[in-house]
Amino acid sequence: MIQQIKSWLEDATVDIFIGYRDVDGHAVPHGYTADRLEELGNWTVGTHRYPLETFALHLARIHPEATIGLLGRDCNQRALNVLSVWNQLHADRIRVLSLSCCPSALKTRADCSYLVPRKSGSFKHQVGVDAEMEAAELEALPSGERWARWAYEFQKCIKCYGCRDICPVCFCAECSLESDELVGTGKLPPEVPIFHLVRATHMAGRCVDCGLCEEACPADIPLRLLYRKVNAIVEDLFGYQTGSDTAQPPLSVLGDRVELEPLPMEKTG
């Protein structure tokens, strides 16, 4: 992998490569350039996950002509597809070096979190929404109970914006979650359920189920379940699987769907 990155930088396949570097035993995101190849050194990625595509997005906004390489697991690739179809990144300026995904049988299209199963008798399981619950299990409950359980979860929110800030597909220059008209300032928790429903609505056809928001949430709110639901609706209505390819998402266009070339992806050995 290191050799591949080096070769891309040396032959100018990419202007910068976003990977990791070791800082006190921790892998932290780092941008490598051809004039600082010695920094490549030896580092391992392990199971660390960062939305490296967000770094690519910021770089592309500052240097639109740059070609950017980055490491990508399956969830990163799905997010890159979404960023491409939403015209945030140019596919021809992105090169992805594919990483093997999570070390478990969880590697399906959507599942790649490291969540620890909870006991079914826990308080949260009885009154709230447990991240381990299946959507079908939740939907089998009476609507009043479903609402009460989600309200229990939402009222724990401390409006830290961690879910939005870590999200690779939250790329808006102005975020509705900071709009006074939608989400009043100075209130904790944010008005239930507006804050969460605004974000859920925006994740329809965008969320790539990477799970980073849920991992970041200090209030342990099962955000993935919510966003899976909105994406399931999009899939049911439009047959669109978010992040699966670079076809135009149904909620972003008024005219005909436009088929784009898939983003190039190199495989490591």
Interface residues toward ligand SF4, by CB under 6 A: 157-164, 166-170, 172, 175-177, 199, 202-203, 207-213, 216-219, 221, 223-224, 227
Supply the minimum distance, in Å, between the C-beta of residue 159 and ligand SF4.
5
3-state secondary structure 164-191: HHHCCCCCCCCCHHHCCCCCCCCCCCCC
Q: Which residues are within 8 A (CB) of 124 and not within 5 positions of it... i.e. 6 or more apart?
A: 118, 130, 220
Give the nearer residue to ligand SF4 in terms of CB position, either 70 or 210: 210
Cβ-contact 126, 141 below 8 angstroms: no
Cβ-contact 242, 232 below 8 angstroms: no
Q: Which tokens sit at 76?
A: 């990163």
Supply the minimum distance, in Å, between the C-beta of residue 268 and ligand SF4.
23
Give the nearer residue to ligand SF4 in terms of CB position, either 18 or 183: 183
Instruction: Give the number of other Cβ atoms within 10 Å of residue 56's Cβ.
Output: 28
Instruction: Give the number of other Cβ atoms within 10 Å of residue 114's Cβ.
Output: 12
Supply the minimum distance, in Å, between the C-beta of residue 82 and ligand SF4.
8
Give the nearer residue to ligand SF4 in terms of CB position, either 15 or 72: 72
Instruction: Give the number of other Cβ atoms within 10 Å of residue 220's Cβ.
Output: 14
Supply the minimum distance, in Å, between the C-beta of residue 110 and ligand SF4.
9
In whole angstroms, give the CA distance from residue 224 to residue 214: 6
Supply the minimum distance, in Å, between the C-beta of residue 191 and ligand SF4.
12
Task: Using alpha carbons, select from 236, 238, 174, 163 the residue that is nearest to residue 203.
Answer: 163
Supply the minimum distance, in Å, between the C-beta of residue 24 and ligand SF4.
26
3-state secondary structure of 146: helix
Give the nearer residue to ligand SF4 in terms of CB position, either 71 or 217: 217
Question: Residue 39 gets which letter from DSSP?
Answer: G
Give the nearer residue to ligand SF4 in terms of CB position, either 18 or 169: 169
List residues bridging with 18 in a β-sheet.
31, 70
Give the nearer residue to ligand SF4 in terms of CB position, either 162 or 193: 162
Supply the minimum distance, in Å, between the C-beta of residue 108 and ligand SF4.
14
The rounded Cα 192 to chain-centroid distance in angstroms is 24
Give the nearer residue to ligand SF4 in terms of CB position, either 70 or 169: 169
In whole angstroms, give the CA distance from residue 212 to residue 50: 8
Supply the minimum distance, in Å, between the C-beta of residue 114 and ligand SF4.
13
Give the nearer residue to ligand SF4 in terms of CB position, either 5 or 230: 230
3-state secondary structure of 119: coil
